[in-house]
Amino acid sequence: MLNISKGKINRAVKTVIYGTEGVGKSTLASRFPGPLFIDVEGGTSQLDVRRIEKPATWEELISIVREVAASPDVCRTLILDTADFAESMCIAGILKKYNQKSIESFGYGKGYTYIGEEWQKLMDAFNACITAGINVTVIAHARQRKIELPDQSGSFDHWEMKLTKQVAPLLKEWADLLLFLNYKTYVVTTENNSKKAQGGKRVMFTTHNPVYDAKNRHGLPDELDLSFDGIAQIFNAPQPAQTPLDRLHELMAEAGITEYQVREVAALRGKYPIETPLSDYSDEIVNGFCIKHFNKIVELIRKGENNG
């Protein structure tokens, strides 16, 4: 007997976020509802988030995801940070299992077949989380690959996930929401009629373009500011209140300066010892010094770089 239903089905969201280095992939994911990170890369050390201790093996990673699926109250969004580091764990596990020196040593592409088969096990565990009502988000780095046009002269650079040809298609097909994060630079004409790059605004792209992979099943605009606010409605969740530290991290990313550089200036001004992480700064210092005088802080950092 056919069981026919009608209308939209509300279920957990499958998201893949990838982008250039330092653009804010993990920071964006940390704004998702009730996040819990599996930080296999170690990239969340400066974020005030809940995280699971880094798994030692590929098998342990899959086991952790399955355990989360069996414990739906542990989080609302499970985040793997990052897919490319997880893929390296996957390959290491395969080489150890079959006592091989490299993935190429299997011959005839068999090693890459093993990668696809192993990664599907992780995808199955992710799907178990989705069935349990837990959103799943996967973060990956981006790389550029030159695409040669077949029947035409010329080529162009294409942004894609920094993954093998076995894993990247699995993630792209699986995702409801594939977001490409990058800096948007504007080219302006100066008074002497020369071209100059200006800006560096952080954005996320949501639909496919010849220059990058992206997609969404929610009718989003092609381009959004890099903020959870633009996609919050997908998760039926209001945007979490932004903390002073969140705002400071946004300013640092936009200016391209590191935490250590900010800590150096704060130490010079007698606010905290240089070894104190920003996460231990009081809101009063973050707001009243770091944010209030941020332009001056950047100026001092730039001056120090030039003098160095």
Residue 233 has pLDDT above 80, yes or no: yes
β-strands 77-81, 51-52: how paired? Answer: unpaired
Alpha helices in 99-233 (DSSP H): 110-131, 167-174
- pLDDT tens, position by position, 140-181: 999 988 876 666 666 678 899 999 988 999 999 999 999 999
Q: Does the model's pTM come out above 0.85?
A: no
The radius of gyration of the chain from alpha carbons, rounded to an integer in Å, stands at 22
197 lies in the same domain as 296: no
Burial label for 246, CB within 10 Å (0-12, 13-18, 19+), is middle
Q: Convert the pLDDT of each residue in 11-53 to its tens digit.
A: 899 999 999 888 899 999 999 999 999 999 887 888 888 999 8
| Single residue among 239, 267, 287 that ends a domain in this structure | 239
Note whether 155 and 149 are within 8 A (CB).
yes
Q: Which domain holds residue 293?
A: 246-307
Of the residues 218, 239, 260, the one at which a domain ends: 239
Residues of the chain with pLDDT > 90, as a percent, come to 55
Specify whether 207 is located in the same domain as 253. Answer: no
**Distance between CA atoms of residues 215 and 28, nearest Å:** 17
Q: Are residues 160 and 214 in the same domain?
A: yes
Same domain as 132, residue 76: yes
Total number of domains constituting the chain: 2
